[in-house]
Amino acid sequence: MRSASLRYIVQRFVLFNFLMIGLLIGCTTTDITPNNDDSLQATFLTLKSPNHDIPSSGTFGWETAHTQLFADERLVDTGIEQMIRKSLVDSLNEKRFFLTNHQPDITIGFVAALESALSHDAINQIYGIDPGWIPKNHGNHFETGTIIVDVFNANRQIIWRGAIQGDTNLDIDNKTRQKRIEAAIYNLMRSFP
C-alpha cells in the first residue's frame, strides 16, 4: 500500500520536477527558538518561480490535492495537520493573505513527513529538492522530519516552494510540538514574498 501511494505521488508530482529547473534557490541553516529554553536547529530551503509574479497580499485557500502527511503510528493522534494549517494561517495573515473558500488568489499545499515514512531520497525524487539536513544522533526519540509548503497561483502552477528539515523529537507533548511547528512555519514563511 505504501509503495502504491508513493508511486501515485511520484506520478502526480513528476511535472513539478520539470518546473523546478527554472527556479531560483536559496538555502540557510538557522536556529529557531519556540520558547526560552528549547532550541531547534533546522535547514530551510525556498524556491521561487522567476516566471510568475507572487501577489504581495490577497486571499488564499487550501490545495487539498497537494496536502499529505507521511507519519507513522508514533504521530497518529498528534494533530500535526491542524497544527501546520494553523501555523500557515497565522503566518500568511501577518503577510496580509486571508483564508477564503471562494476563488483564492493563491492556494497552499503541504507535505509533512518523517524519514521512516518518506526517505530523503524519495523527497529528492518526488519534489526535486534537497533541504540538506544532516541528522544528529540523538537516539531513538528523534527522527528527521520534513515539512514542504507549496504555493500555487490561480492556474495551479507552483510559484513558490519552501521546505524545512530538522530533527524531530517524537516524545514531546502536543503543546511543545505546536510551539515548534509554529516557529518552524513562521521562519520558513518569512521568505515568502
pLDDT at 169: 77
Contact 148, 165 (CB under 8 A): no
Calpha distance 129→154 (Å, rounded): 23
pLDDT at 140: 59
Q: Angle CA(63)–CA(149)–CA(36) in degrees, nearest 5? A: 130
Query: Which tops the pLDDT comparison, 193 or 54?
Result: 54
**Domains, the chain, with CATH or none:** 2-189 (3.30.160)
pLDDT at 182: 93
Confidence of residue 75 (pLDDT cuts 50, 70, 90): low
Residues 170-183: tens digit of each pLDDT: 788 889 989 999 99
pTM for this predicted structure: 0.76
pLDDT at 143: 72
Residues 9-47: tens digit of each pLDDT: 444 443 343 333 333 334 444 444 444 434 567 777 788
